[in-house]
Structure 1
Amino acid sequence: MSSKEQTILDDASDGGESFTSIFEDILDAAQASDAEGSEDGYETSEILSEEKCLEMRTYLRAHGEQKFLLKYLFSDDASATDTSESNIREVLYALGIRSSVVLESFDEAAMVQLLQLAITRELSRRIPLDNVTTLDDAISLIKNAKNIVLLTGAGISTSLGIPDFRSDSGIYKRLEAMGLSEPQEVFDLHVFREDPSIFYTFSKEILPTVTRFSPTHAFIKLIQDNDKLLTNYTQNIDNLESHAGILKDKLVQCHGSFAFATCQNCGHKVPGDELFADIRMGVVSRCKQAASADLVQSRKRKRASDDDDDEEQDAQEVDQCNGVMKPDITFFGEALPKTFETRLLGQDIDNCDLLICIGTSLKVAPVSEIIRVLPSHIPQIYISRTPCTHAEFDVSLLGNCDDVVEYICKELGEGWELTHEMIAENAFNGEVAKTADRTYTFTRTSGADKTQEADIMKQEETERNDPDGKNGTSPGESN
């Protein structure tokens, strides 16, 4: 083996810092463009046949990464022998990277890094179950399951006018429009500790403004009422699961919530809504807990040495902790709640008999790893507006989450009546069609979409004008 071949093998096997998160985004985009038939993708016949691609993926799973690379990247019988770069291009194509932008424009070093990630993803892909392939199968599973694990994301709240984070109209785009070049820094723990004013300047964009919940939240409550809910892992920080009545011992708020806030100095915890006024004004919220005796003495000595004339202000700063308050949401660089790991590995991995992912793109680790941690024989159902291209679900139900769960409850029948004001005003009466293998799409009529959009805009305007609900009734709660 040549030194160049060994270098490529070593780089492709390196799971450390040889590639960054940008390659995750590139891989997602490349695989999504192929799945959607994008114009920048190659035709199947241009590089390899689908039979050849399947053969290569099967060999990878059967023999492992090293033998796979030796056979298809460096062997004499590899179909492209001019340069290793052309061989890498073929292997990437076989692993689902069909974007001409990637295959024609990337240099060898970039393609090697992308290759490592593509191989890792292929090896970690779950093989869909042969006996779970249809919408009827999915409904039957829900009806007969006893211990359902739900993994939920922003898509279960968007019908209430609550934006997600990563879409074109999401939180990060809003923050960019406000002049923030790196939107994720708002939720970076190190940035917060250095300058909490950045978070308080922009966090009003994610402040919960409603207590009502969506039909999808009500569906989760129905699963609980039917004694089938094992755990609801939510990535949302709006705390609407609690408003919907999901029991505390059934709920893991993986990314925390605004329900409480904690002083970064003394650890004092308060209800989160005590910070809301400061957040709306963009002012850093400070802890009003009494300062410790040692801290009071230290501040008095400092005040005396500084000879400050503003005695009233100094007295308040001396007597109170005055530490920075941080909402109990999980920032980047901060560990997830301990209950996430202990419950997943200590209970759910052994007891779950059905996984349903609703309204999540599954792009944020470690929560996204739940689909790989649970045993592969556990059926998996995916419900969201857009497909998930980097995971293999048994059945995918694509459309507005509220529409999908409304349909499911009607099919489940007695004991699954989904009563909710949003359904009463705008019930789903669209089409359900099988659009691909294991995939069904729920399509509303255009008139119904406009009615729902008008209702959301009206609700958002009411909440902007009266965020505390003091000028009338509360935003409303669902049955």
Structure 2
Amino acid sequence: MSSVEHLPSDEVSDDEASINNFFEDMLDAVEESDSDGSEDGYASEQLLSEEKCREMRTYLRAYGEQKFLKKYLLDNKSEASDPSELPIREVLYALGIRSSLVLEDLDETTLVQLLQLAITRELRRRISLDNVTTLDDVISLIKNSKNIVLLTGAGISTSLGIPDFRSDSGIYRKLEAMGLSEPQEVFDLHVFREDPSIFYTFSKEILPTVTRFSPTHAFIKLIQDNGKLLTNYTQNIDNLESHAGISTDKLVQCHGSFASATCQTCGHKVPGQELFPDIRMGVVSHCKLPASADADDSSSSTRKRKRKAAYDEDEDEDDDDDDQEQAVQESTLAGSRSLCNGVMKPDITFFGEALPKTFETRLLGQDIDKCDMLICIGTSLKVAPVSEIIMVLPAHIPQIYISRTPCTHAEFDVSLLGNCDDVVEYICTKLGHGWELKHEMITENGFNGEVAKTGERTYKFTRPSDAEGKEVRDIAPPKGD
């Protein structure tokens, strides 16, 4: 699940925030298209050599934004023989914006705004460590580290059939197919308060249906069992870390979970499973806690005062008829007020809702000083503030990335691309004694795929494919949930 990116209200206006979000989304889309090679034009033609691109990025970091723009944009533009050939496109290319659809079709004003964001991202980008570059380095780091921080996302649960949110087969696409024009509104706190039925109509799509955990969850448990887990920050709301045995004092559920729920009227908490029948039926779940005694006493006193006033005004009215009518009214009121009846909300973090306090207190109060290795697994790192962990931790701390697709907006020391379960199975095999990964879903004879170095600091994990191009996995049949 996701959480809203918090912007300081006294520094960024709503309009500015909307503009920033627009260009953030545009830049994310460009980086994704560039990483999968789906765009033509500049992505393959190369406006500048990679050596020149590195030179420009190095200059930006060394001399700052103003000198960078003067040297590579303003001076070049004034000397350009053809004013229509904007040097800004070359600068954007050097900063990693290489989509021909963007560089050719956007006007200069829009490109300038995009350039500002690209520069900001580049200046914030962490520089990879010179002494951590290979898969062997990753194995050595896990062996020797004592306080590993793990940041996990939906990719560690997809092998169990639990969809992510943003992929082509993810939750948001399903909600769109069900007729919801703005899928994220399902998880918007303001929308929930105005009309909780929207959430309850669609939330069955994200309701946890399994208690089994994946091999990647088991790998995290191994890190804990070997005394090396400092903290597991999870963005997932399926609560499978708890089923895998991750200790509560080692786990921060950044976006909450379905494990519990809270009444939005009286604050009463219940186990999340009590809401599941209502969620499956698509009906709003209400609080079944008895209404407060104070409220009942107050209502009773009011009714007594009204009865006395009515009696004083008409002493001749038939007492028996009045008492009988009043008894019926009180019975009706008592029935409607016997329960709190407030709307129940699962304790998952909605857009517009603050993250648990433990997120910030643990990260800044402990992990920033103790962490000696960061492993990000199965997350695209697109949702702040959780994604900011990679920039909050000191830059000298080794950072490893494990996921199906590369992360183009962050600088990891080593990226291991493939199914998360495959990668951790391979890692455990290399770690040796004490790291035996025992799980019903892993291959019986160890990882039988290929590991290829596909770029600097990047490795690709693939399995043999059958005639239809589907991955072949020699796995034991899963047990019941």
Shift of 1:317: 2.8
| SS class of match (2:388) | helix
Partner of 1:386: 405
Partner of 1:175: 175
**Alpha carbons of structure 1 residues 83 and 454: separation in structure 2 relative to 1, 3 Å:** farther
Q: 2:348 aligns with which of 316, 323, 329?
A: 329
Matches within 5 A, 1:106-117: 106-117=106-117
Matches within 5 A, 1:442-457: 442-447=461-466
- Amino acid in structure 2 at the alignment position of 1:163: P
Contact 1:210 1:475 (8 Å CA) reproduced: no
Partner of 1:403: 422
**Alpha carbons of structure 1 residues 282 and 75: separation in structure 2 relative to 1, 3 Å:** same
Per-residue CA deviation, residues 117-158 of structure 1 (Å, 9 max, x unaligned), is 101110011111111111111111011110000000000000
Partner of 2:48: 48
Shift of 1:428: 2.9
Per-residue CA deviation, residues 172-192 of structure 1 (Å, 9 max, x unaligned), is 011111111100000000000
Partner of 2:220: 220
Partner of 1:159: 159
| SS class of match (1:423) | coil
Matches within 5 A, 1:433-472: 433-447=452-466
Contact 1:426 1:451 (8 Å CA) reproduced: no
Q: Percent identity?
A: 77
Q: 2:395 aligns with which of 372, 376, 380?
A: 376
The reply on whether 1:475 has 2:464 as its aligned counterpart is: no
**Alpha carbons of structure 1 residues 313 and 357: separation in structure 2 relative to 1, 3 Å:** farther
- Amino acid in structure 1 at the alignment position of 2:172: Y
The unaligned stretches of length 5 or more in structure 2 are 1-14, 308-325
The reply on whether 1:365 has 2:384 as its aligned counterpart is: yes
Matches within 5 A, 1:282-301: 282-296=282-296
Q: 2:360 aligns with which of 341, 347, 353?
A: 341
- Amino acid in structure 2 at the alignment position of 1:292: S
- Amino acid in structure 1 at the alignment position of 2:382: K
- Amino acid in structure 2 at the alignment position of 1:296: D
**Alpha carbons of structure 1 residues 105 and 22: separation in structure 2 relative to 1, 3 Å:** same
Partner of 2:209: 209
CA distance in 2, matches of 1:78, 1:56: 19
CA distance in 2, matches of 1:290, 1:18: 44
Per-residue CA deviation, residues 338-369 of structure 1 (Å, 9 max, x unaligned), is 00001001100101000000000000000001
Shift of 1:312: 7.1
CA distance in 2, matches of 1:337, 1:375: 23
Shift of 1:29: 2.6
The reply on whether 1:421 has 2:440 as its aligned counterpart is: yes
CA distance in 2, matches of 1:426, 1:193: 52
| SS class of match (2:17) | coil
CA distance in 2, matches of 1:431, 1:133: 19
Shift of 1:262: 0.5
CA distance in 2, matches of 1:81, 1:299: 84
- How many residues were matched structurally? 444
**Larger RCO (CA under 8 A, 6+ residues apart):** 2
Contact 2:77 2:86 (8 Å CA) reproduced: no
Partner of 1:3: none
The unaligned stretches of length 5 or more in structure 1 are 1-14, 460-473
Structure exhibiting the larger radius of gyration computed from Cα positions: 2
- Amino acid in structure 1 at the alignment position of 2:402: I
Shift of 1:427: 5.1
TM-score, normalising length: structure 1: 0.86
TM-score, normalising length: structure 2: 0.86
CA distance in 2, matches of 1:19, 1:177: 28
CA distance in 2, matches of 1:436, 1:241: 32
CA distance in 1, matches of 2:357, 2:400: 26
| SS class of match (2:159) | helix
Partner of 1:466: none
Moved more, 323-332 or 292-301: 292-301
Shift of 1:210: 0.5
**Alpha carbons of structure 1 residues 308 and 157: separation in structure 2 relative to 1, 3 Å:** farther
CA distance in 2, matches of 1:73, 1:404: 43
Shift of 1:224: 0.1
Matches within 5 A, 1:33-182: 33-42=33-42, 47-75=47-75, 80=80, 82-83=82-83, 86-182=86-182
Contact 2:221 2:244 (8 Å CA) reproduced: yes
Partner of 2:6: none
Shift of 1:54: 2.0
Per-residue CA deviation, residues 410-464 of structure 1 (Å, 9 max, x unaligned), is 00000000000111568531111111111111101124955659999xx8xxxxx
Partner of 2:11: none
Per-residue CA deviation, residues 372-415 of structure 1 (Å, 9 max, x unaligned), is 11011100110001111111111111111001000000000000
Shift of 1:297: 5.4
CA distance in 2, matches of 1:341, 1:92: 34
CA distance in 1, matches of 2:397, 2:42: 35
CA distance in 2, matches of 1:189, 1:103: 37
CA distance in 2, matches of 1:317, 1:30: 55
- Amino acid in structure 2 at the alignment position of 1:283: V
Contact 1:34 1:41 (8 Å CA) reproduced: no
**Alpha carbons of structure 1 residues 88 and 106: separation in structure 2 relative to 1, 3 Å:** same
